[in-house]
């Protein structure tokens, strides 16, 4: 008996010693296996700018037409905008995952391998701006490529050790480590992503790179940081692999993401709402309205209902519902539990496909820190209410911060210099391009209270 006890004790000590020795070595063995699968993404965008800006003169000045004729006929100047980011290979066929914002607007995309020798052109398979995911394709011929595997972000816990590998500040093959600081983090990145928060140092250029667990599996795509300086302060955010893998598979299969559609407008269930309805909780999503000819309408979901469970998943907040609906397979029959008139009711809904081409911007809009304004898409209802031509294209100024002294709420921006605006994406792209070119202001064509004019809007200087 004693002999067996000492044998077990000896084996336990040996295992502990081996584990301790492995810990002392750090993550070098694991990193050696992962590095060949992580790549740097270099992009080039060709833009045309006027060689000289049109001088700014008051509206109606007699020299305005002369300056427009003179400067407007000058040949535009072609400039190359370059960008750097990260990505990772997910298959032997050469599929590469990165962030949409890394390759947005690029005319050329190059994938650079960690060995520093191989550089290959990449083609864009598809993107999903809503989740900031893009998929590229490279020709694997004559390349010894290695791919990584997806992990299950659902079983990740706060405190788990993670590794981030990428191309921060152009320094490819950089490895940083940390822990998961929080999960299911809502930082205003859209209704379809609850981020993993990590304190593993992430900087500009890490975007699109993988976040690994200690099994060498990808549990997130590093996408955002929160920092007043632009550098790492230990607040990095990654798209969970559960969301990312679903979107990536759809992009590879269909060229785009396909999302489920229920067809309800929802809002937060406040304590006041609950009290007035006689509902003894604030958990759930309050149905403000139901869209005609939608799956919800066909299933007799009604305005005033409280959705508390969808397809077996509890809805704790109204923000939970868009994500679980979007991730539901098209055509699936789903059981929805609703609270109505003081009682629980089960409703069966057949989920349809969301046609995002006709969706309007979210209530929150798009906030641009560099202009200190919140913008929204210009929809037909707004055009009609403001009495402007239905053919007008532009973006609506919803809110103006104290740092912006040029724009006003309800202004409509229809043009920036010589470029016309047709969406939030086009305006945001022009802003980012101008910042890259180190411009300090924008020349905006604006409609205000039915009057159309030009104004100068400086960028915010911190």
Query: What's the gap between Cα 86 and its chain centre?
Result: 15
On whether both 246 and 371 belong to a single domain, the answer is no
Question: In the numeric block, which tokens belong to residue 208?
Answer: 């699109």
Within a domain: residue 332? yes
Query: Is 316 considered catalytic here?
Result: no
Q: What is the pLDDT of residue 31?
A: 96
Q: Residues of 420-459 as b/e, b for ≥16 C-beta within 10 angstroms?
A: ebeebebbbbbbbbbeeeebeebbbbbbeeeeeeebebeb
Domain boundary among 321, 353, 385: 353
On whether both 254 and 266 belong to a single domain, the answer is no
CATH code at 144?
A: 2.40.10.120
Within a domain: residue 293? yes
Q: What is the pLDDT of residue 142?
A: 87
On whether both 191 and 315 belong to a single domain, the answer is no
Query: Is 52 considered catalytic here?
Result: no
Q: What is the pLDDT of residue 58?
A: 59
Among the listed residues 101, 181, 194, 320, the single catalytic one is 101
Q: What is the pLDDT of residue 359?
A: 37
On whether both 37 and 134 belong to a single domain, the answer is yes
On whether both 176 and 166 belong to a single domain, the answer is yes
Among the listed residues 104, 128, 132, 177, the single catalytic one is 132
On whether both 232 and 105 belong to a single domain, the answer is yes
Within a domain: residue 18? no
Which parts of the chain sit beneath pLDDT 70? 1-25, 47-81, 188-189, 356-364, 461-462
On whether both 211 and 301 belong to a single domain, the answer is no
Within a domain: residue 3? no
On whether both 229 and 268 belong to a single domain, the answer is no
On whether both 170 and 298 belong to a single domain, the answer is no
| DSSP H/E element including 34 | helix 28-34
Q: What is the pLDDT of residue 363?
A: 43
Within a domain: residue 340? yes
Q: What is the pLDDT of residue 233?
A: 85
Q: What is the pLDDT of residue 149?
A: 97
On whether both 413 and 366 belong to a single domain, the answer is yes
Among the listed residues 40, 104, 181, 207, the single catalytic one is 207
Domain boundary among 258, 286, 320: 258
Query: Is 207 considered catalytic here?
Result: yes
Q: What is the pLDDT of residue 8?
A: 56
Does pTM surpass 0.85? no
On whether both 252 and 323 belong to a single domain, the answer is no
Q: Residues of 137-147 as b/e, b for ≥16 C-beta within 10 angstroms?
A: bbebeeeebeb
Per-residue pLDDT reduced to its tens digit, 158-204: 999 999 999 998 888 999 999 999 999 888 667 789 899 999 999 98
Within a domain: residue 13? no
Provide the domain limits for residue 279: 260-353
Q: Return left, alpha or beta for 16; rule: phi > 0 is left, psi -120 to 50 is alpha, else beta.
A: alpha
Within a domain: residue 393? yes
Q: State how far the Cα of 42 lies from the Cα of 44, in Å rounded to an integer.
A: 7
Total domains in the chain come to 3
Domain boundary among 353, 374, 399: 353
Within a domain: residue 17? no
CATH code at 427?
A: 2.30.42.10
Q: What is the pLDDT of residue 16?
A: 46
On whether both 237 and 105 belong to a single domain, the answer is yes
């Amino acid at each position: 008996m004693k002999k067996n006890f000492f044998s077990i004790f000896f084996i336990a000590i040996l295992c502990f010693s081996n584990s301790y020795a492995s810990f002392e070595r750090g993550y070098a063995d694991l990193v050696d296996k992962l590095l060949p699968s992580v790549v740097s993404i270099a992009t080039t965008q060709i833009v045309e700018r006027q060689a000289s800006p049109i001088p700014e003169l008051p509206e109606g000045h007699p020299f305005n037409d002369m300056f427009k004729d003179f400067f407007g006929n000058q040949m535009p100047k072609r400039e190359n905008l370059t960008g750097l980011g990260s990505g990772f290979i997910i298959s032997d066929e050469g599929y590469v995952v990165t962030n949409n914002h890394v390759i947005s607007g690029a005319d050329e995309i190059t994938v650079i391998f960690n060995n520093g020798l191989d550089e290959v052109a990449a083609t864009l398979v598809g993107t999903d701006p809503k989740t900031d995911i893009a998929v590229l394709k490279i020709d694997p011929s004559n390349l010894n490529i290695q791919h990584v595997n997806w992990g299950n972000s659902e079983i990740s816990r706060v405190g788990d050790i993670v590794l981030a590998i990428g191309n921060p500040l152009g320094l490819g093959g950089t490895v940083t480590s940390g822990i998961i600081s929080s999960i299911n983090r809502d930082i205003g990145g859209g209704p379809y992503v609850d981020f993993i928060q990590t304190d593993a140092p992430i900087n500009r250029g890490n975007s699109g790179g993988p976040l690994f667990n200690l099994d060498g599996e990808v549990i997130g795509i590093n996408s955002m940081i929160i920092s007043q300086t632009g550098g790492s302060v230990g607040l990095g955010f990654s798209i969970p692999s559960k969301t990312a893998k679903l979107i990536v598979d759809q992009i590879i299969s269909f060229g785009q993401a396909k999302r489920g559609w229920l067809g309800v407008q929802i809002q937060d269930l406040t304590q006041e709402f609950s009290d007035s309805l006689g509902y003894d909780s604030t958990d759930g999503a309050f149905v403000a309205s139901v869209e005609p000819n939608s799956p919800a309408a066909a299933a007799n979901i009604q305005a005033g209902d409280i959705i508390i469970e969808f397809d077996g998943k509890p809805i704790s907040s109204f923000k939970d519902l868009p994500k679980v609906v979007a991730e539901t397979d098209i055509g699936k029959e789903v059981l929805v539990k609703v609270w109505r008139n003081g009682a629980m009711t089960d409703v069966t809904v057949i989920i349809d496909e969301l046609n995002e081409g006709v969706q309007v911007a979210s209530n929150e809009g798009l906030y641009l820190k560099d202009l200190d304004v919140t913008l929204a898409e210009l929809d037909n209802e707004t055009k009609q209410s403001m009495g402007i031509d239905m053919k007008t294209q532009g973006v609506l100024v919803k809110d103006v911060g104290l740092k912006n002294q040029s724009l006003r709420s309800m202004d409509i921006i229809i043009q920036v210099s010589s470029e016309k605006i047709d969406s939030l994406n086009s305006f945001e792209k022009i802003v980012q391009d101008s910042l890259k070119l180190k411009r300090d202001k924008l020349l905006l064509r604006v409609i205000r209270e039915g009057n159309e004019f030009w104004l100068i809007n400086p960028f915010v200087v911190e």
